[in-house]
Structure 1
């Protein structure tokens, strides 16, 4: 319905919009010029803190790894303190099954010792079996969580994650490689304990040096991120992995 208070165009009595002649296009903006906003209106802006599509801040270009964006900026690597805190939290969790196994095997060892008055083969064997079970539980814990999500419970709490550098998802093989150094030292220590219980003092001195060297190597492994440019431990270099902020 037309406005009764507005004078009508005698050439357009029904209020229709003028149409372009057939085959002609409406006027266009000159080439290279941007359309202008109506007076008093602001052009649309990007949401605060977001970059235009396809652009990343300089030095933070990510590549996608296993479904997660892995930034190249050095500040995105997990700090040594965060890694230590996650390891301590995981250690507290693993202390529960380890403690239960230790109580059971220790009680068996004490009972056998009281009955025989000496360290029998059965009592020593019980301690060795308990140590092996504890070792298997500990390594299965880390291999499972690192091989599936890259995060143990401790890492999830501290908001850090293990990733691979070759743009592939984590798997159990890579997770097992990360544990190779720690597993090797644990085997040496278990072997030393077996010799100690067996009173094999003839070779104990030489193996003690090996045990000491292995322990120093394990300490260097854990301290290596303090001076490494990519915050890698030695076991990260073996498995070609990184620990980043999740």
Structure 2
């Protein structure tokens, strides 16, 4: 119905306030810690309307968390997830001593990849960053096991069809080359699962290192490996597209 107030499931309503993930919210709800208008609700999909329902956790009023926006230089070997079923180290080890409120990765980098990774507790902002239609380009520096010729670079940019899924780069260029390896500058305007690795593998390249160096106007710069910092208001707005 036009103009109708949107309803959200209770778990989603909690996560949209930036206080926890939707998975964590569902756990709280099933454990009986969440009340709606004074009544315990155990259904994570219980419909709520913003501004109409009073939601409490452990009988405490639930206020929206202050928005938080961070950038991390992700080291190789960490998994981009809050919990790993195989007990591998995750990106959250980089924040262990910081005492931060709940934050979620904005997009992801696979375990073997490094570089710029964003975190926030603002779901709307994160959605703008990760949406292929509205999100900024992502730039990567990738070391491969040999030097590609110009024809191969053109073919990589044109892309391939892998299992019915188109894989291509917005742009690809040779950064530098040695006797046995080369570094490529690759820009993506969409994010498919292991896109760069799958694309290069189709041309028989082995990826030795993969480092994300920029998201839109935000560059990794000299941020140390494993270090993080808050984004400035200007950076937050620029990534949002303001």
TM above 0.5? no
Structure richer in strand, relative to its length: 2
In the superposition, the TM-score normalised over structure 2's length comes to: 0.23
Q: Give TM-score scaled by structure 1 length.
A: 0.22
Higher Cα radius of gyration: 1
